[in-house]
Every structure is written in C-alpha cells, then in structure tokens.
Chains A and B, each alone.
Chain A
Amino acid sequence: MRRALRSAAGLLFLPAAAASAQRPALGAAFDPATRAAIQSIVDSARADGLPADALVNKALEGAGKHAAGPRIVGAVRMLYGELAASREALGAASRRDEVTAGAQALHAGAATPDLHALRLAAGRRPLGMPLMVLTDLMSRGVPPETAAGIMDSLVRAGARDADLVAFQRNVRLDVDRGAAPAAAATTRVRGALAALRSH
C-alpha cells in the first residue's frame, strides 16, 4: 500500500511542480524592503482578481535591468493602477491578456474611454491584438486620439488579427523610412479599410 501511495504522490506532484515552475516568482533578486513592498502590491492585485503575474514580471524586469528598488516599486505600483483601470474599462469578464494589453495601452497614452469604446466596438472579439497595435502606434508617435480612432474603425470594420498585424507592419515600415507617424497611420488605415470593405 505504501508503494501505491508513493506512486500516487509522484503522479500528483509531478504536474504540480511543472505548473509552479511556469508561474513567475519574485525570487531573491530584491532587498527585503523592496521585496516586501512589491509583495504587498502583488497580494492586493491577487485579492482584486487582477493578473498579478504581470506585476511580478514588471518587478523581475526591473531587477534584470538593474533598476533601483524604489524605481521598481514605483513601476509596479503604477502598473497595478493601470491594470485596475484597464479591467474597469474593458469589463469584468475580460481575459487576462486583454487586461494586461489594456494596461500597456493606458501606459502609452490611451484613455480609459478609448478602451471602453473599443470593447463596445469589438463585441466578443478578443482585444489582445487591437490593444497591442494601439500601444505600438502611440509608442511610435501617433497621437493617442488618432491611434484610438484608427483602431476603433478597424475593429468595427471586422479586421482580424492578421489584418492588424499587416497594418502595424506597414505603418512601422513607413515610419522607419522617415514618414510622419500620424500621416503613415491615417494613410495606411484608409487602404486597410478599403480592403476590408471589398471582401
């Protein structure tokens, strides 16, 4: 019977160990005060049902890039607020990757009404990719209002993720070649919308 129990325990804890290995953990990369501050924020996020892994990853990124403790804590605290705002704008039923991508968009300059409008426009369509492209546009210099309007029109026109990837690639190439970001984005979106309407 003992052997049977050992077999059972082995089978039970093998996948458990594999699962825990995939979950990010703070580890020993922080001084005690920084670690305690980060853990407090992470615990609050977990209690709120927010994707706390994103906060741990933010802290680990800061440690990996040798940022000072207070700077890491500040970045983690800011992300906590952005995750909460993102979920509120996108809806409580939003997927974790949507909430995380929404927080990125807010960080890059989008407003919560932009995210809410995108949710209304998208319906059940996953918003991970639209939010990622929105963040990219703003990061490349497209004004937030312009970028949000572009994404809203693309989503309303039924753009799939592949369409958005192609649009983002075209804008990036134009900007890399010297185009003004807003001009590149507004020009490319006209072509993308025309292509979508012709289908």
Chain B
Amino acid sequence: MADFLGTPFLWVVATIVLYGIAYWGYGKWIDRRVWRSDAKRTTPAHMYMDGVEYFPVSRYVLWGYQFKSVAALGPILGPFIGIKFGWLPALIWIIGGNFFIGWLQDYGAMMLSVRKEGRSFGPITYEFTGAKGRTNLLAFVLFYLIIISAAFIALIAVFWSKYPGTFIATVGIIFAGVLCGQLLYRVKMNVFAVTGIGLALVVLSIWIGVYTSAQWPSSFPTVLPLGDWTVPAWALLAVLILYAAAVLPTPLFVQPTNYLAFYPAYAAIILLFVAIACGAISGWHSLVSSSSSSKQLDIETDALPVGGGAMLSEGLLALVSLIAYMVLAPSFFAQGNYPSWVEGAIVLTSPFLGGRAAAGATLTVFFGLVLVIYALTVQALVTRFFRLVSAETWSEGRFRVFGNKHVATVVGLGIPWAFAVSGSWWALWLYFGGSNQLLAGLAIMLITIHLAKVRAPTRYSLIPAVFMIITTLAALAWQVYFFTKAVVDYLNGSSTGIFGNVRAPINKAPYALVALGINAVFVVIGAVLFLVGLSMAIRLFRSYLSSKAEARVKAPAAADGGTRER
C-alpha cells in the first residue's frame, strides 16, 4: 500500500480519471441542470458582433487562449508551498479543490458573463451590490495587485541571484522582443519570418547566458557582488524593466516580448510536460473568463470545454509540477529552497539530454529563464492593469495625481518593491494566496447570486463560495495575528519574531526598527485586505439573501416548480 501511494504514476492516472469524472460527469450535469446551457440561445459574440471585442471564435482557439491566460506563474510555486505540508495534502487539494471548486468558478464566471450580455465582473458587481460594492471591489483589487506584484518581483529577483546567467538571458529576450516588434510593425515583415528571427535570438540569449555565467562567474552580468543587498538590487532592476513595460505603448514592448516569451515557456512544457499551474483555484481566472473569453464564445455549450476544460487541464499540469518537486529529496525542502522547481525539472529531463554533466548548465539557465520570463511578462500585464485601476479610482478629485500614468506606475511598483525586498517569501506568498483565493470565493458568490435570481439550484456554488471565503478570511486573519504577535513580542523584548518575517539584510540587530516597521506595515496591509474582503463578502451575502427572497416571492405556481431562465 505504501508502495502504491509512493508512486507518482498511479496518482497521475487516478487524477486523470477523477478529472474525467469532473468534466464528463459532474460538469455535464451542472451544465444541464444548473445553467441549462443552450446551443440555440444567441451569445454576446453574435448579439453584439463588432469584429473587435465581440465576435464568435471557434472553441479550439478559445480553449487555447483561455488555457494560456489561466496557466500563469503563481502556481509553479503553489505546489511547492503545498508540499511543505506533505505531498499528500497538496495532491488532494489539486484533485479535490479543482473537482468541486476550481473548474466551477472558471466555467460559472464565463456563463454568468455570457448571460449578462458579455459584461465583466465590475458591472456585474455593480448590478448585484450597488455602487458601494463596486468601490469595495476596486479597493480590494488594488491591494490584491500590490500583493501579486510584490510576490512576483521577489521571485524574479531571487531567481536572478540564484541562477547566474538568467539575467543576461532575460535581457537578451527583451531586446529580441523589442526588435521583433519593430520588424513586425515598422518594417511590416511577415509574421513567420519575424517569429523565426525571434526564436533564433531567444536561443542566442540562452547561449549568451550560459556562456557569461561560465566566463565571469563572479562579476556583474552574472552576479551582483553586493552581499546582502544583492536581492534588493536585482529587484530594483526588475522594477525598472517593468516600469518601461507599463508606460511604453504595448506594440513597442509588452506585446512582442510576450509573444516571444511564449515559445521558451512552451518548449519547457514539451521538454518536461511540467508547467506552470495554479492547480486548484485562482481568482484571477474569473477575471479572465468574464473579461474577454465570454465575449467571443460562439455557442453557450462551448463554455464547459473552454472554461471548465481549460481549468481541469491546468490542474493536470499542476500535478506534473508537483511531481517535479516529489523527485527531490526531502532535505531539499528543509532549507526553504523554493527555486527547487528548477532543480526538479533538471533531475527529470537531464537523463534524456545527455546527462546532468553535459546539459546541466544549459538546463539551469533555460528553466531558470522560463520562470523569470513568465513572471516578468505576467507582471508587466499586472502593472499595466494596476495603472488602469488607479486611473479609474483617482480619475478626479483631490487625489487625481495618483491617476497619472507615471505616478500610478511608480506607486504600483515602488510599494511592491519595498515588500519584495523586505518581507519574507512566506509572508508575501500567504497574503498573495489568501487574497487570490478570496477573490475566487467572491467570484463564486457573484455566480451564486445570479443563480438565485434566476431560480436555478444554488447549493453547488454556494457551498464552495462559503468554504472559500471563510477559509481565506481565516488565513488572512491568522497572518495578521502572526505579524501582530511578532510586533508585540518585540515590544516585550524578543526580536526573533520580527526578524523571522523579513529578509536579509534587514534581519539583523542594527535594522531592528526597520524590521519592526515592515512588520507593522504587513499588519496594516493584512488587516485592510481582511476588512475589505469581509465587507465585500457581507455585501454579497446580503445580496444573495435578498435575491433568494425576491425570487421566492415572484415564483409562479407552476407545476414544474419554476420556469426556465429568461
């Protein structure tokens, strides 16, 4: 029995079978019974067709797009954090979380948006909870984005310092991206030719990364000889690149770079079949589902393969990612060595590529680069989004300076930078995970409200929503308590707590006051996230109760207990 449980292969088979049941059994059942998707009903893509935002797209294209958009980075590391608590709970969460909650959120968000004329979550929140609810959501999203940014910037900086050569390779890819953008839009070269040139440059960048790290193992382009200040300095470099990405026009920088970055990332999947997956549940997905996929859904019945199917496939990738960690010896985790995904990936792939001695250096740069470039491209989008949300929040009034393009970008990168270089990885990650999954809970709650309004069965989404909201709020509260305790301990004379929550170089006695300040800021951020999330949850729950009551009053005395949704 122990042998059986210890074999990853059997778990992969079991997960595939269970996901199959989730899709063809539970999924189809929900699709028929709860949402009653109807291929004949006109979707927003047809109703409002304009060839730009609203137009029908084949389900294959949309699946590819949705999968690419949801399989972001967080996740590579998600299973790693999970495995700290033992790999079995991590596995159970990847299977069970996705079975009952994950796909339901992505699919439900898409269906909700389709039924609401392709509107995204902002207007839907406004409809369900009023103007205050929407402002509340806006505030939550701002904090959420800051936390995401901090986690990603920390990740980029740590990888650059941990895997020499990846920085040079990253810079090479960015140059290649900008060059390709110019070739594509200025010179108007053929897309295939540009892609070919770009890929050659990507390979060249990786080669340069390997070469420089072998040639200059201890000077600038490979490592920053700054001692404890290395990570903050790398983080600052990342922030400068992201600043350019956020303020320059997209065709100049972000778009071609993202396009090129896609190829090494997927080459990594092919090499390893490990990707990059959140695995169970992420609130970001509901934003994607309702933002653009729902406007391009050809027929309603495509929502299950596109929304639910993409999410379940992502779960499979998370599983493989988890296995990449499982092949490592437990001693590896004991040091809190989170870049170990790269190690696991090398252990798995090097036997096929001529052994560790031959391919190790190239693979290190390659896999390290894949992670960095993924984080960087996703973060470029997040920073732009932060800028847009700031412009929306402070478009007028006394604080309108914060809506300014440059001010918003500086704020959206400066605060996360400070967190990234000061806070410990765990602190950032747990806040990130908490707010991300809380957003997922809130999204499922919106879906539930809609179902209540149209008198469809609500319990299949209400239970997951309540579960997600309560667990994530509890996690946030626990974190706040944890930081508060560190501060209180310091005031009582013990400073181990506050130093444990911050990163070098400020985790030593001369910086005690700085460390204390950082802890205090984490208390405030956590408390705000908790309170804003709680008030949003209360608003949504109230709206749910009133929708339920309203639907009950309106119910006709029909024999079948209700009518079809109109």
Binding between chains A and B: no
**Chain A residues at the B interface, C-beta cutoff of 8 Å:** none
